C-alpha cells in the first residue's frame, strides 16, 4: 500500500502492466486523408475508454473495413491506468500549460519526480506527429468517464469547426467547459489548429459506458469522413439509434455557467443522488464542505457532480443554449463582426498577445461576457476592473474550407 500524495488516497499497489503500450492501435487506409486520434485514460481511473477503443480497432481489423485516412488510439496516463487512480503525481489533463510544455518539449527532459511529465512528452510528440500528417482535416478526441451517474455527452471549445464535428454525434453538446479549466490537452491541440472534442461516456464503473464510447467513436469515424465503406452502414445506424435514445430527453446544446472549485482541504462532499443533467434550483443545498452548505449558484442542470476523492471540480451548472443563438453566433463570426471590437470604448487590443482583448469593466459596462462568447472569445481572467478575453482559434482558412466539405 502507499499514499498518493496528490490526493491523500491510500491505494493498493499493483504490478504495472508492462504489456500495456502507449499505442492501443493504429489503422491506415490505402491513401492519406483525414486523421482521427483518440486518447483514453488521461485519468487512470477511467479505463472504459481504453476498452472501447480496443473494441473498435478489433472490429475494424476482423471485419476488414476499408478506412479512409488514419485512425490512432492511445492510452493516456500509463502509470495511473495501471494503478486505477486519477493520477500519480499531477493531473495529466491539467498538465498542458504553456510553461510546462515549453520546458518538457524543448529540454526533452521530463521531471523524474513528476510521473506525468514523461506521459506529456510522449503524447505530445506522438499526437503532433500523427495529426500533422493529415492531408484532410485532423481530429482529436479525448475520452473520459465521470464519478457520478451521467448519460453520455460531448464537450467542445466553442469554435465553428468543433461545433460542426460535435453536432454530427447525437449527444448533448456542452460548450464553455474549457473556460473553467487550465492546461487541458484539448485546448493545447485546438490552439494548434486541430478539431477537438471531449467525449464523456458515463459513470466510471458502469459497463454501458464502454458501449456508449464505442458507439460514439464509430460515429466520429463517420463524421470525419473516414468510414465510407457501405458494409459499416448497419453498425453506424445502430450506434446512432443507441445514442439518440439515451439523449432523447436532454437539450441539444448547453453552456457552462458555473464551476464549483474544490481545494485539497475543502472536505467537499456532494450530497447523494445527483446525476449529470439533473435539474437544480438556485440556492439548492447540493453539497457540504468545511465551511458548511454548498448551494447551487443558479437554477440549471448540474453536470459532473464529484463522487470521488480526487479532482478539483465539485460540479458545474449548465443551461440550455438555444439553437437561435447558435445560428446568430455562427453568422456574426463569419462576418468577422469582432473586427470592430477594438474600436469600442473601453476595449483595447493586448499588444503582446494577438487575438486578446482587454475590456475595462468601468467603461464597457454594457459589454457582457455573453457578447464575447457569441463572437468566439473566451474569458482568460479578470484583473480588477479589466476582463481579459481571447479569441478561440479557428485554424487556417484552408483548413476551414476543407471542414465545410463534409
Ligand atoms: Zn477524466
* Ordered domains of the chain (ranges, CATH): 2-246 (3.40.630.10), 255-320 (2.40.50), 323-403 (no CATH)
- Measured in Å, residue 360 CA sits from the centre of ligand 1 at 36
How far does the centroid of ligand 1 lie from the alpha carbon of residue 318, in Å? 18
Q: What is the distance in A from the centroid of ligand 1 to the CA of 86?
A: 8
CA of 42 from ligand 1 middle (Å) equals: 7
CA of 47 to the centre of ligand 1 (A): 10
Q: Quick one: pLDDT at residue 395?
A: 59
Distance 91 CA to ligand 1 centre (A): 9
Q: Which three cell numbers stand for residue 291?
A: 465551511
Distance in Å, CA 168 to ligand 1 centroid: 23
Q: Rounded to the nearest whole angstrom, what is the distance from the C-alpha of residue 310 to the centroid of ligand 1?
A: 11
Structure confidence at residue 73 (pLDDT): 97
pLDDT of residue 15: 35
How many Å lie between the centroid of ligand 1 and the Cα of residue 370?
27
| 347 alpha carbon – ligand 1 mean position (Å) | 36
> How remote is the CA of residue 46 from the centroid of ligand 1, in Å?
6
The Å distance, Cα 206 to ligand 1 centre, comes to 14
Q: How much distance in Å is there from the Cα of 249 to the middle of ligand 1?
A: 24
Tell me what pLDDT residue 18 has: 43
Report how far ligand 1's centroid is from the alpha carbon of 43 (Å): 5
Q: What is the pLDDT, as a whole number, of residue 364?
A: 66
Picking from 392, 329, 383, the residue whose alpha carbon sits closest to that of residue 355 is 392
Residue 68 C-alpha to ligand 1 middle, in angstroms?
A: 29
CA of 210 to the centre of ligand 1 (A): 14
One pLDDT digit (tens) per residue for the chain, 406 residues: 333 333 333 333 333 344 568 999 999 999 889 999 999 999 999 999 999 999 999 999 999 998 999 999 999 999 999 999 999 999 999 999 988 988 888 888 888 889 999 999 999 999 999 999 889 899 999 999 999 999 999 999 888 899 999 999 999 999 988 888 889 999 999 989 999 999 999 999 999 999 999 999 999 999 999 999 999 999 999 999 999 999 999 999 999 999 999 988 888 999 999 999 999 999 999 999 988 999 999 999 999 999 988 778 899 999 998 888 888 888 887 778 777 777 777 888 887 777 788 888 777 666 677 778 888 888 877 778 888 888 877 654 333 333 333 3
Through-space distance between the first and last CA atoms of the chain, rounded to whole angstroms: 52
- How far away, in angstroms, is 245 Cα from ligand 1 center? 24
Q: Compute the distance from residue 133 Cα to the ligand 1 centre, in Å.
A: 27
Question: How far is 115 from 111, CA to CA, in rounded Å?
Answer: 8
- How far is ligand 1, taken at its centre, from the CA of residue 146, in Å? 7
From the CA of 314, how far away is ligand 1's center (Å)? 13
Find the 386 Cα to ligand 1 centroid distance in Å: 32
Q: How far is the CA of 11 from the centre of ligand 1 (A)?
A: 18
Please tell me the predicted confidence (pLDDT) of residue 41: 97
- How far is ligand 1, taken at its centre, from the CA of residue 41, in Å? 7
Residue 398: per-residue pLDDT: 33
Amino acid at each position: 500500500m502507499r499514499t498518493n500524495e496528490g490526493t491523500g488516497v491510500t491505494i493498493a499497489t499493483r504490478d504495472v502492466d508492462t504489456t500495456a503500450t502507449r499505442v492501443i492501435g493504429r489503422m491506415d487506409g490505402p491513401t492519406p486523408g483525414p486523421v482521427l486520434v483518440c486518447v483514453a485514460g488521461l485519468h487512470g481511473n477511467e479505463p472504459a475508454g481504453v476498452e472501447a477503443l480496443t473494441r473498435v480497432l478489433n472490429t475494424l481489423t476482423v471485419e476488414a473495413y476499408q478506412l479512409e485516412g488514419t485512425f490512432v488510439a492511445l492510452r493516456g496516463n500509463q502509470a495511473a491506468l495501471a494503478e486505477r487512480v486519477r493520477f500519480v503525481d499531477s493531473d495529466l489533463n491539467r498538465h498542458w500549460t504553456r510553461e510546462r510544455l515549453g520546458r518538457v518539449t524543448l529540454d526533452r527532459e521530463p521531471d523524474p519526480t513528476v510521473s506525468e511529465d514523461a506521459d506529456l512528452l510522449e503524447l505530445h510528440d506522438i499526437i503532433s506527429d500523427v495529426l500533422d500528417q493529415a492531408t484532410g482535416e485532423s481530429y482529436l478526441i479525448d475520452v473520459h468517464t465521470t464519478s457520478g451517474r451521467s448519460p453520455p455527452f460531448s464537450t467542445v471549445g466553442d469554435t465553428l469547426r468543433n461545433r460542426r464535428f460535435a453536432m454530427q454525434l447525437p449527444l448533448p453538446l456542452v460548450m464553455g467547459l474549457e473556460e473553467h479549466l487550465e492546461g487541458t490537452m484539448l485546448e493545447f491541440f485546438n490552439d494548434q489548429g486541430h478539431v477537438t472534442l471531449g467525449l464523456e461516456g458515463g459513470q466510471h464503473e458502469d459497463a454501458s459506458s464502454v458501449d456508449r464510447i464505442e458507439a460514439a467513436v464509430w460515429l466520429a469515424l463517420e463524421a470525419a469522413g473516414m468510414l465510407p465503406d457501405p458494409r459499416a452502414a448497419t453498425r453506424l445506424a445502430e450506434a446512432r439509434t443507441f445514442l439518440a435514445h439515451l439523449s432523447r430527453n436532454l437539450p441539444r446544446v448547453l453552456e457552462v455557467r458555473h464551476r464549483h472549485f474544490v481545494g485539497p482541504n475543502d472536505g467537499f462532499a456532494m450530497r447523494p443522488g445527483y446525476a449529470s443533467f439533473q435539474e437544480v434550483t438556485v440556492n439548492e443545498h447540493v453539497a457540504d464542505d468545511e465551511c458548511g452548505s454548498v448551494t447551487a449558484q443558479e437554477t440549471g442542470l448540474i453536470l459532473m457532480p464529484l463522487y470521488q476523492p480526487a479532482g478539483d471540480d465539485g460540479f458545474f451548472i449548465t443551461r440550455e443554449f438555444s439553437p437561435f443563438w447558435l445560428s446568430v453566433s455562427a453568422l456574426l463570426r463569419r462576418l468577422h463582426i469582432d473586427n470592430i471590437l477594438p474600436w469600442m470604448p473601453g476595449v483595447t487590443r493586448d499588444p503582446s498577445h494577438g487575438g486578446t482583448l482587454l475590456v475595462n469593466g468601468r467603461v464597457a459596462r454594457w459589454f457582457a461576457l455573453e457578447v464575447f462568447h457569441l463572437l468566439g472569445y473566451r474569458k482568460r481572467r479578470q484583473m480588477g476592473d479589466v476582463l481579459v478575453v481571447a479569441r478561440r482559434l479557428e485554424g487556417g482558412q484552408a483548413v476551414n474550407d476543407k471542414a465545410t466539405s463534409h
